Amino acid sequence: MSIDVSKVFLFDNSAKNLVEAELLDAIVEKQLLDWEDQWIPARDEVNRRLKAAGVDRSKWPQTGHWSWRDKQLGIKGSLSNPSFCVVHADETQGLMILDTLPSARLSSQAGKPIVYIDYLEVAPWNRKHLPGDVPRYGAVGSILMRAAIELSLQEGFKGRVGLHSLPQSNDWYANKCGMTDLGPDPAKQNLRYFEMTPEIAQAFINRGS
């Protein structure tokens, strides 16, 4: 399997500068080992901090029971489930699995093909867990989102992207990405479903121009 590598830049929040990183169009064993050896211990440390701070368990990261190894196993060999990851300093900084089979739900796009983001997660050290937390690296989530849009364009789906956001991420997809909120979806544990039109996808790409 050949893997394409794209050069990306993350913002190092402690050094206050951009650092070079890589976007890979695959999740391989190295990423699963990073998840097991680095993400899980970091996540447990986060949970200890939340517990010490008296944060109710219902507010703890909702990805705490996710297994990227199981997810990767579930899509093994599936051509309709491309995956991406962001790597910097020999560490996996973010992971994403996509599905190219679903159709759009927005009335203006209904029935048209989309790239659906099955799962997207950034490393525990790149998230905000408690007030005042500063992620180690910025732009990881945006780069993965951009990869989904670019795949949609390459597939001829014109940038249409759909996803079910976990509650702690709703603000990002609604207000910063400009996606349309189609409300809670009873078929997906009442997670809110968001969709991006071709126009909003182009605006997302043009953000940095």
Partner 1 sequence: MKIEFTKEWCLRMAQLEAETPSNFEVGASPLAPEETMEAAAVEQSAASGIVFGRFVRLMRRKQRLTVEKLAEDAGIDVVELVEIEEDSRHTPEPRTVYQLATQFKVPMQGLMQLAGLSKAKDARLVNEAIRFAARSEPVADLNEAERAALEALVSVLSER
How many residues of this chain interact with partner 1, rule: CB under 8 A? 71
Q: Using the rule CB under 8 A, is 37 a contact of partner 1? A: no
Least CB distance from residue 163 to partner 1, whole Å?
Answer: 5
Binds partner 1 by CB under 8 A, chosen from 44, 80, 108, 199? 44
Contact call for residues 68 and 32 (beta carbons, < 8 A): yes
Q: Using the rule CB under 8 A, is 49 a contact of partner 1? A: no
Q: Using the rule CB under 8 A, is 64 a contact of partner 1? A: yes
Phi-psi region of 38 (alpha: psi -120 to 50; beta: other; left: phi over 0): alpha
Q: Using the rule CB under 8 A, is 63 a contact of partner 1? A: yes
Least CB distance from residue 29 to partner 1, whole Å?
Answer: 19
3-state secondary structure 163-203: EEECHHHHHHHHHHCCCEEEEEEHHHCCEEEEEECHHHHHH
Least CB distance from residue 125 to partner 1, whole Å?
Answer: 12
Residues 162-191 that bind partner 1 (CB under 8 A): 163-166, 168-173, 175-176, 185, 188-191
Contact call for residues 10 and 86 (beta carbons, < 8 A): yes
Least CB distance from residue 109 to partner 1, whole Å?
Answer: 19
Phi, psi of 141 (to 5 degrees): -60, -40
Contact call for residues 95 and 69 (beta carbons, < 8 A): no
CA 36, CA 31: separation in Å to the nearest integer?
9
CA 188, CA 190: separation in Å to the nearest integer?
5
Contact call for residues 88 and 143 (beta carbons, < 8 A): no
Residues 92-151 that bind partner 1 (CB under 8 A): 94, 96, 117-122, 127-128, 135, 138-147, 150-151
- Per CB under 8 A, the segment of 27-35, 102-110, 158-166, 195-203 that binds partner 1 is 158-166
Binds partner 1 by CB under 8 A, chosen from 30, 50, 62, 182? 62
Binds partner 1 by CB under 8 A, chosen from 1, 29, 56, 65? 65
